Amino acid sequence: MTAQSELTVAVAGLGQRIAVVIRNLVAAAPGTRLVGYVDPEPYGLSSLTKRGIEAGPRFESVETMLAETKPDLLMVGSPNHLHLEHISVGLAADVRVFTEKPIVRTEDETWALARLLKAHGEDAILVGLVMRSSPLTRAVADMLAQGRIGKLVSMEGNEHLHPEHGAFLMRDWRRRQEFGGSFLLDKCCHDFDIYRMFVGAKPARVSSFGGRTIFTPEHEELTARKYPDGTPAYTIWRPGWNTSNTTFHSDADVTDHQVAIVEYENGVRLSFSANTHAGLPMRRWLFMGTNGALEADLVSDRMQYRDALGLDAVETIPVAEGSGGHAGMDPAMGHDLAAHLLEGKPFPVNAYDAMVAGLTVMAIDRAMQEGTVVDCQPLWERLDRELGRGA
């Protein structure tokens, strides 16, 4: 790939999240120019305008936009139920696509996407699984590769959100599976992506329990609480498209807390928990190995190691301090995107990774709904068939 200095980008779905991605891409590659967008309610437009980033003209359809602008890249930031449609249009126009996570919303959409990639090539799509770009993720991967903890036996992971974040999810379009897929898919698919990367194997079987018992009418009295400045609780995060005006009486059909157990093909086992109403917000990984244990905390941006017998003091390992959104992940992904698109350097995640992560969460959700343990092997076999791998 020949290095270039300018990049033209068209946008399908100019929401709040894709605006963050665009801002960080422009910061890393100032020669990036937006040539147009399609979105009847572009909630991310104002954040670009405030920073002097011109979004270009609004088009009525993605097909027309791509035909008239012929961009280098189509960025898909639409609600998740539109991802497959907008990716398909981009591929049909022979345009490289970047899509926010999750790549698609259901198993059937995964198979349809796999067939598209069989025809257009698996490198036709880039996916915003932003945790792959995290400085802490890379530090953990290096520690595991060095063998400091010995053989990895089991691990714990979690994501516990501040109640304002949870309230946002109950009012935003993500509250409905028809638009976003499950809570765990929309919010945590990139967690399960990096767990597979850390473990070095795909899931073999999964189980899960969860429900919605926090944001329900019986807890509506919580809305009477206020912050010291008088701001009402559960109102700070501004939702986007298809907003619900109520948090505890919304028409949400997603869980507000969930736990999962995963056994990987190499025998490593994971326990994971997520909660949308945490007084102690947390995103932490704990790795237990034959020689020691490693803890990584994405909230405090720290990593700690100790040998298995506790003979040495706890070692705090410095991590390159992240700044900006997602503890430095967003700027880092902007640099990764720029380096890949302009210089041809490898991007840390591909469409296959994203599909495996999505199918993992879909299997977890199916296990929760059916009250069963789900065997994942048929999913990986079908994914390979649909992609034409090994054929």
> How does pLDDT run across 235-286, given as a tens digit for each residue?
999 898 999 989 999 999 999 999 999 999 999 999 999 999 999 999 999 9
Residue 318: the pLDDT is 78
Lowest mean per-residue pLDDT among 2-16, 57-71, 319-333: 319-333
Could you tell me if 35 and 157 lie in one domain? no
- Whether residue 44 lies inside any domain: the answer is yes
Beta-carbon neighbour count of residue 130 at 10 Å? 25
Rounded to an integer, what distance in angstroms lies between the CA atom of residue 242 and that of residue 178? 12
Could you tell me if 198 and 281 lie in one domain? yes
- Whether residue 77 lies inside any domain: the answer is yes
Beta-carbon neighbour count of residue 267 at 10 Å? 13
Burial degree of 233 (CB within 10 A; 0-12, 13-18, 19+): middle
Could you tell me if 146 and 205 lie in one domain? yes
Could you tell me if 36 and 138 lie in one domain? no
Residue 103 region by backbone torsions, left for phi larger than 0, else alpha for psi between -120 and 50, else beta: alpha
Residue 9 has pLDDT above 60, yes or no: yes
* 57, 82, 100 - which closes a domain: 100
- Whether residue 221 lies inside any domain: the answer is yes
Residue 143 has pLDDT above 50, yes or no: yes
Quote the percentage of the chain above a pLDDT of 90.
91
Could you tell me if 140 and 96 lie in one domain? no
Higher pLDDT, 379 or 320: 379
* Confidence at 5, pLDDT banded by 50, 70, 90: confident
* 48, 74, 100 - which closes a domain: 100
Residue 300: the pLDDT is 82
Residue 43 has pLDDT above 80, yes or no: yes
Query: In this structure, what CATH number is given to the domain that contains residue 138?
Result: 3.30.360.10
Average pLDDT, the chain: 95
Task: Give the full edge-to-edge strand order of the sheet including 7-12.
Answer: 32-38, 7-12, 73-76, 96-100, 125-128
Could you tell me if 46 and 162 lie in one domain? no
Could you tell me if 249 and 323 lie in one domain? yes
Could you tell me if 143 and 68 lie in one domain? no
Residue 326 has pLDDT above 80, yes or no: no
Helix, strand and coil in the chain, % to nearest 5: 40, 20, 35
Residue 321 has pLDDT above 90, yes or no: no
Question: What is the number of domains present in the chain?
Answer: 2
CA trace torsion 25, 31, 35, 39 (10° rounding)? 20
* 75, 100, 125 - which closes a domain: 100
Residue 283: the pLDDT is 94
For the stretch 189-233, pLDDT in tens is 999 999 999 999 999 999 999 999 999 999 999 999 999 999 999
**Mean pLDDT in residue range 110-122:** 97
Could you tell me if 138 and 47 lie in one domain? no
H or E element, residue 7:
strand 7-12
Residue 269: the pLDDT is 98
Asked if 256 and 215 count as a contact pair (C-beta separation under 8 A), the reply is yes
Could you tell me if 273 and 159 lie in one domain? yes
**Amino acid identity, residue 85?**
E
Residue 324 has pLDDT above 60, yes or no: no
- Whether residue 84 lies inside any domain: the answer is yes
Query: In this structure, what CATH number is given to the domain that contains residue 85?
Result: 3.40.50.720
Rounded to an integer, what distance in angstroms lies between the CA atom of residue 211 and that of residue 216? 11
For the stretch 351-385, pLDDT in tens is 999 999 999 999 999 999 999 999 999 999 999 99
Could you tell me if 261 and 320 lie in one domain? yes
* Confidence at 2, pLDDT banded by 50, 70, 90: very low
- Whether residue 29 lies inside any domain: the answer is yes
Residue 391 has pLDDT above 60, yes or no: no
Which residue range forms the structural domain that includes residue 273?
A: 134-327+349-383
Task: Identify the three-state secondary structure at position 84.
Answer: helix
